[in-house]
Amino acid sequence: MAETTKFTIGVDASCTDGLCGEVTRVVVDPIARTVTHLVVEPKHRKGIGRLVPLNLVDATSDEVRLRCTLAEFEKLDWAEETRFLPGSGSYAGYSPGQALSWPYYGLGGGVGMGTGSVSQPIIVDKIPLGEVAVRRGDQVHATDGAIGRVQGLVVDPGDHHVTHVLLQEGHLWGRKEVAIPIRAVTGVDNGIRLSITKQEVQGLPPVDVDHPNG
């Protein structure tokens, strides 16, 4: 995998003029099997991540560097939004049966959200239609059961195609990390699904995966 780039979920991300956060998710086009964006969230302020197009990303062994300033980073699209599912009453001109959404600002119960007007807000991913977000810790399923959890993805820097899924496999006392070829992946929605068995995964050679701090 000498000609590929590892995106380990959880590593720091820096703009040209300073640290902007950490990589919390990798956004994948499941049809083309390409990475399109990284989600970078400022540390200690979860839920206000930005969608960073891959053409702004340079990855090193232990961090991700963005080809933009902190001010430009703040102007990128939101990666999450808050949705209010309506209750029995109306809210701000929205009648029951409609939903209201806006970018996530860490809202709890907003102004004017009285009892019976709207339900508790929920936070959802706001990613391009048809694409999915892969998170660190997502379950990986072999054909005969769960085998481990996602640590990151390996990407061809030329065309952004995913070449391998980085997996932490095994129990705490016998844990190793392996790179699963993308040809063995049958789906990436609601976890990673494989076309190979647990024994075949266990037979893959271990790889060196950079671990984020914390």
Q: Where are the domains of the chain?
A: 5-73, 80-125, 136-202
d(CA 107, CA 213): 28
Beta bridge partners of 6: 154
Beta bridge partners of 154: 6, 164
106-128 per-position pLDDT tens digit: 434 444 444 445 455 555 677 77
| CATH for the stretch 136-202 | 2.30.30.240
52-88 per-position pLDDT tens digit: 999 999 986 578 999 999 999 999 998 876 665 555 4
* Residue (of 21, 30, 27) closest to 7 by Cα position: 27
The answer to whether the CB of 17 falls within 8 A of the CB of 45 is no
43 phi-psi bin (left φ>0, alpha ψ -120 to 50, beta other): beta
Give the class (CATH, top level) of 5-73: alpha beta
pTM: 0.69
